[in-house]
Chain A
């Protein structure tokens, strides 16, 4: 195991030097916070991550949950950890005081998620899922349901889940078949099956509360007929006692990675008595769920960034210690071997990992800050549109590039990287889920190009470009940043041109062709967006280098500048290729005849 799995210094740089997170405390909602509380929170979470989570990172992978007697038996640490998170208030720190939260800015909550994800992603998922489910209950549930279910969830005694996917309704939620029939007694009778329900039924908590999508009998077909229900494993009866509900875990999946947290199969209503409690209004379930989904997608991106970060530090430590070979121009076989970090190819792979992981983290924090500003009432419409536009990117760039970054970490370790003796192979397996769960990359691409780019007559896209232009203008005033500022501006123009070109197809009504390469459009926009985030970091690093700094800090800021340069020199040019593909081969994929797949 590597000594380090994240950089506290980088988090401080991002929070206070790039994003000026303390300024959020000027808003009434966050006024009880200060840099001191942020730092104490990060101190505590770092300690929890180091002392409790990281030591069982590999053990949870080696000893995954076992299905027995209708339940997933998980690593014993999960129960302790859930209780620790509940007692410490780490499940819902962002909630309002009214609901037991501490009104923590999302920007800092994202840092918490990042540290915990880097320490042990599987373990971090349990409280995060519970917090997400509780948030749905807070936002849309009745007071009665809140009074019955919220407190034990937030105390870490009951697990929360999101129960969306069914055997025939994964990406296509319009096809959800689970049914709900009004019993006339204050609850619905739920019947159906769900699969891939993370944390769906475990022995880590005494109850599980599912936020489940189901279709009320007689509801319209498609997404407009889906409602949201609270379906507990044990429901609270009129006398306040827990009663077993008619919902069973019928098995768990055997996964490639992310093994410490089970994906459960659930069967509801086998005996005709599974109680589900309607959340909000009928047929609005998907809209409610998708409000939550934005936050979950940010969390997925941060999770991917955290795994790529931990893999980077493992690779860095190895590269600094492993002696192998000599400088290419050293022909003396008797001269001592050098640490492999001296080899240019290793440096390139480390730089690649750092560019991706720190760029992805920066974007996650940026979106979190927009969430905070919107919540504080600061230009809410603008910030919400920016969030909407960036969500598919903040989810997908870290997820897709996290695979390549963790793969590069393996490559740095050579044969050892491919073996279980070192943690990098686990990071590679663990991150592979991220382009899949909470909406695949294909879905995200369609969301960006088919919905977000054109929403409100292109207003979100326009705001996004204005954000980039603001950074470009600032950077253009700084000598060391004139070139990357110009490169970002040119890239933005290219993306604009490709967008206009594709929209012409959309105007012609051929949506199939318009969206056929939406994933590549998302990839291109992602590269542009992370370039913006690196330029922002470059501005902060330049400002810091202009004043007297210690040697340690100087190395840090120069490392930032060099990684930014790497990003613009090595990663940004990929936009050219994608632009060419997107303008030249438009519709190609939709036209390929199926019979040619032989």
Chain B
């Protein structure tokens, strides 16, 4: 069974984001695999370790730098990679079209991805890929079992879990609680260098999403300090919460 994992290269979640000319500046920013996609990579490698998957292929759409994200996944244990060359400013639809085209050529049995990207958080790409390819899609999974041409997925649901059975091929997107991604080993890093990575051009598509403006959250303002006796301070705090913050007391 061939498992294909879509990974996106994102900013390090610890990075300090700065805007330049209305865009996020990547100067001095460390780039990593989207942590949600990293979980999907780990899930795929575990399927291979259980002899369910025979090959794990990594696909990433983006600029040349995205190759680093592919190499990291290869160092974790994936077998080969495909870089779909695309402008890093591509929108979710363009990205989904580009990835779907590459996936079609690979004809995998299972497509895994993180359910959301840590940078834009739009949660669109896996669903769009499934739609384009006409495949079933299961979201936010925390476990997967493969048997008899079907995938049984456990997902998070409000107040509990949901078990879904789908025929494969299918697109399945992971929740972070699925597993704990491994650290690449020294040996894995050295082997990753020699694993094949193909580069293909992205299929053309018009953007459907236009970003009007990016803005950083407003900087924190100083808190208020009530320096009174406890009973007076409590009354003043209650008054402030009710009248200034407009907290509703039911």
A contact residues vs B (CB 8 Å cutoff): 3, 8-9, 32-34, 36-37, 39-41, 43-44, 47-48, 50, 84, 87-90, 93, 102, 104, 550-553, 556
Report the Cα distance A552→B184, complex, angstroms: 30
Contact with A along B193-215 (1 / 0, CB 8 A): 10000000000000000000000
Q: Does B224 contact A (CB under 8 A)?
A: no
Report the Cα distance A556→B71, complex, angstroms: 28
- Assess whether A552 is in contact with B183, with CB atoms less than 8 Å apart: no
Q: Report the 8 A-B pairs with minimum CB-CB distance, sorted nearest first.
A: A89-B186, A550-B27, A552-B28, A552-B27, A88-B185, A102-B186, A93-B186, A40-B189
Chain B: which residue is nearest A38 at the CB level?
Answer: B189
Report the Cα distance A32→B190, complex, angstroms: 8
Q: Apart from A88-B184, A102-B189, what are 7 other A-B pairs with CB-CB below 8 Å?
A: A8-B30, A36-B68, A41-B186, A44-B189, A84-B183, A102-B186, A556-B28
The residues of B that contact A47 with a CB separation of less than 8 Å are: 183
Given A88-B183, A89-B186, A89-B187, A37:B193 Cβ within 8 A: yes
- Assess whether B27 is in contact with A87, with CB atoms less than 8 Å apart: no
- Assess whether B72 is in contact with A43, with CB atoms less than 8 Å apart: yes
B193 in complex: contacting residue of A8, A9, A34, A43, CB < 8 Å: A34
Shortest distance between the CB of B32 and any CB in chain A (Å): 7
Q: Does B75 contact A (CB under 8 A)?
A: yes
The residues of A that contact B71 with a CB separation of less than 8 Å are: 36, 40
- Assess whether A37 is in contact with B27, with CB atoms less than 8 Å apart: no
A9 in complex: contacting residue of B28, B75, B190, B192, CB < 8 Å: B28
Q: Does B164 contact A (CB under 8 A)?
A: no
- Assess whether A90 is in contact with B186, with CB atoms less than 8 Å apart: yes
Report the Cα distance A41→B189, complex, angstroms: 7
Chain A: which residue is nearest B189 at the CB level?
Answer: A40
The residues of A that contact B30 with a CB separation of less than 8 Å are: 8, 43
Interface positions, chain B 59-84, Cβ under 8 Å from A, are 68, 71-72, 75
Report the Cα distance A315→B224, complex, angstroms: 26
The residues of A that contact B28 with a CB separation of less than 8 Å are: 9, 550, 552-553, 556
A551 in complex: contacting residue of B27, B72, B185, B189, CB < 8 Å: B27
Shortest distance between the CB of A199 and any CB in chain B (Å): 22
For the complex, would chain A's binding face be called helix, strand, loop or mixed by DSSP majority?
helix
Report the Cα distance A47→B184, complex, angstroms: 10
Report the Cα distance A37→B186, complex, angstroms: 9
A39 in complex: contacting residue of B18, B68, B190, CB < 8 Å: B68
A40 in complex: contacting residue of B14, B20, B27, B72, CB < 8 Å: B72
Chain A: which residue is nearest B186 at the CB level?
Answer: A89
- Assess whether B32 is in contact with A43, with CB atoms less than 8 Å apart: yes
- Most chain A Cβ neighbours within 10 Å, of B186, B187, B193: B186
Chain B: which residue is nearest A32 at the CB level?
Answer: B190
Q: Does B25 contact A (CB under 8 A)?
A: yes
Given A40-B75, A43-B32, A552:B25 Cβ within 8 A: yes
Report the Cα distance A149→B74, complex, angstroms: 31
Report the Cα distance A43→B69, complex, angstroms: 11
Number of interface residues of B (CB under 8 A): 21
The residues of A that contact B184 with a CB separation of less than 8 Å are: 40, 44, 88
Shortest distance between the CB of A582 and any CB in chain B (Å): 44
B190 in complex: contacting residue of A37, A44, A87, A88, CB < 8 Å: A37
Report the Cα distance A34→B18, complex, angstroms: 30
The residues of B that contact A3 with a CB separation of less than 8 Å are: 14
Report the Cα distance A551→B18, complex, angstroms: 11
The residues of B that contact A8 with a CB separation of less than 8 Å are: 30
Interface positions, chain B 155-196, Cβ under 8 Å from A, are 183-187, 189-190, 192-193
Interface positions, chain B 1-42, Cβ under 8 Å from A, are 14, 18, 20, 25, 27-28, 30, 32
- Most chain B Cβ neighbours within 10 Å, of A43, A87, A89, A104: A43
B27 in complex: contacting residue of A89, A93, A553, CB < 8 Å: A553
- Assess whether B183 is in contact with A48, with CB atoms less than 8 Å apart: yes
Report the Cα distance A34→B67, complex, angstroms: 15
Shortest distance between the CB of A590 and any CB in chain B (Å): 50
Report the Cα distance A440→B54, complex, angstroms: 56
Report the Cα distance A36→B74, complex, angstroms: 13
Report the Cα distance A469→B187, complex, angstroms: 41
The residues of A that contact B25 with a CB separation of less than 8 Å are: 550, 552
Shortest distance between the CB of A394 and any CB in chain B (Å): 25
Report the Cα distance A556→B28, complex, angstroms: 10
Chain B: which residue is nearest A92 at the CB level?
Answer: B186
The residues of B that contact A104 with a CB separation of less than 8 Å are: 186
Shortest distance between the CB of A533 and any CB in chain B (Å): 23
The residues of B that contact A50 with a CB separation of less than 8 Å are: 14
Report the Cα distance A104→B68, complex, angstroms: 19
Shortest distance between the CB of B7 and any CB in chain A (Å): 14
Report the Cα distance A39→B72, complex, angstroms: 10
Shortest distance between the CB of A308 and any CB in chain B (Å): 22
Shortest distance between the CB of A588 and any CB in chain B (Å): 51
Given A88-B186, A89-B185, A36:B193 Cβ within 8 A: yes
A-B contact pairs, 27 of them (CB 8 A): A37-B189, A39-B68, A40-B71, A40-B72, A40-B75, A43-B30, A43-B32, A43-B72, A44-B75, A44-B183, A44-B189, A88-B183, A88-B186, A89-B186, A89-B187, A102-B189, A550-B27, A550-B28, A551-B20, A551-B27, A552-B18, A552-B25, A552-B27, A552-B28, A553-B27, A553-B28, A556-B28
Report the Cα distance A39→B32, complex, angstroms: 12
Shortest distance between the CB of A555 and any CB in chain B (Å): 9
The residues of B that contact A9 with a CB separation of less than 8 Å are: 28
Report the Cα distance A29→B187, complex, angstroms: 16
Chain A: which residue is nearest B67 at the CB level?
Answer: A36
Shortest distance between the CB of A399 and any CB in chain B (Å): 29
Shortest distance between the CB of A177 and any CB in chain B (Å): 40
The residues of A that contact B186 with a CB separation of less than 8 Å are: 41, 88-90, 93, 102, 104
Report the Cα distance A553→B29, complex, angstroms: 11
Chain B: which residue is nearest A101 at the CB level?
Answer: B186
The residues of A that contact B185 with a CB separation of less than 8 Å are: 87-89
The residues of A that contact B187 with a CB separation of less than 8 Å are: 89, 102
Chain A: which residue is nearest B29 at the CB level?
Answer: A552
The residues of B that contact A89 with a CB separation of less than 8 Å are: 185-187
Contact with A along B106-119 (1 / 0, CB 8 A): 00000000000000
The residues of A that contact B14 with a CB separation of less than 8 Å are: 3, 50
Report the Cα distance A486→B22, complex, angstroms: 46
